[in-house]
Structure 1
Amino acid sequence: MTAHAEGPLLFLDVDGTLLPYGGTRIPPTHWERDGWQEPSNPQLAKLDPAHGPRLLALPCALMWATAWMDDANEVLSPLLGLPELPVTDLPEASEEDEAGLLHWKTRALVEAAAGRPFIWVDDEIGERDRVWVSANHPGPALLHRVDSTTGLTDADFAALEAWLRPAP
């Protein structure tokens, strides 16, 4: 991938991506080993605190792209050891998006990218979104769909790192 002068963006979803719908809670020993308190919310206990440093190590600018909006910074950033991240302005879904033609975030993310290379990590990306982004975004883009039952995995991080790595 050829880097844009401002570098790539990574738009990050929460539900199904950082907070998987399936699986089990992260064991308390994992939280204690890192010196953190295990969250009391059962869903938040599925958050893997190791994801924060891995996300920060990626050569891109992180942005929340989630219905959590500003709550992602209040609740999740401290648990992941992330700084406050910019929050992508996500408008209400259009009638066309509600009809299932595009994901409700697709247009807003392309607009927010403003031609910069970007990765969108989400559990709801579909083929129509890929086609639309390809036709409407002038720069490189990776729409990376995560399995909502497992959330981000080592394989997902490997795919993100490979896309972000400059060509030799």
Structure 2
Amino acid sequence: MATDPSRPLLFLDVDGTLLPYGGATLPSSTAEWERWQHHANPQLAKLVPAHGPRLRDLGCELVWATAWMHDANTVIAPLLGLPPLPVADLPDAPEVDLPDVLHWKTRSLVEAASGRPFIWLDDEIGPLDREWVRWEHPGPALPHRVDASVGVTDADFTVICAWLDEVGVPEMIT
């Protein structure tokens, strides 16, 4: 998956992170989620095309960490002006998210990072995920929760840039 070990990884979620939920009627069944993850989804108009270049310019190796899996390269990447990205090998998403339980992506992303510095942008990161990453990942990591109603904002980019600066990873473009 990862190709340049000199750069930190940036694991990207889609739903609620790059594709905000604000004002959307969320799917309640697997079939509805499959329609949500389709290029004809009217919610795709909520993507912010400027996020693509901003993410690319961070100097991180971008990796999809989403239930969209490879469909993110077909549908989301072109809308953001991103090239096809590697896709994290994730377990199947559970039918129901349980509170106070380790997120279904956490273990896989820590394993995929293999000790490299990483950022994980997701709208479902909780305190348990942060603690688990802190104890199980030997390198620097920023599991950053995004507000699902609005998706990634300037404030999120400010946090990311400050973290990259703190761990000694300069931005490619400031």
Q: Output the TM-score relative to the length of structure 2.
A: 0.79
Question: Where do 1:113-152 residues align within 5 Å?
Answer: 113-152=113-152
1:54 paired residue number: 54
Question: Where do 1:56-71 residues align within 5 Å?
Answer: 56-71=56-71
Deviation at 1:92, TM superposition (A): 2.7
Contact preservation (8 Å) 1:23, 1:150:
no
2:20 paired residue number: 20
The whole-number CA distance in structure 2 between the counterparts of 1:93 and 1:69 is 11
1:160 paired residue number: 160
Q: Relative to 1, partners in 2 of residues 1:167 and 1:46: Cα closer, same or farther, differing over 3 Å?
A: closer
CA RMSD in angstroms comes to 2.3
1:35 paired residue number: none
Q: Which runs of 5+ in 2 are unaligned?
A: 25-38
Runs of 4+ in 1 over 6 A off after TM superposition: none
Q: Relative to 1, partners in 2 of residues 1:167 and 1:112: Cα closer, same or farther, differing over 3 Å?
A: closer
TM-superposition CA deviations, 1:86-141 (whole Å, max 9, x none)? 000001358xx867420000000000000000000000000000111111000000
Query: How many residues are aligned here?
Result: 149
Contact preservation (8 Å) 1:98, 1:104:
no
The whole-number CA distance in structure 2 between the counterparts of 1:136 and 1:129 is 10
1:28 paired residue number: none
Report sequence identity in percent.
Answer: 69
Q: Output the TM-score relative to the length of structure 1.
A: 0.82
Q: Which runs of 5+ in 1 are unaligned?
A: 25-38
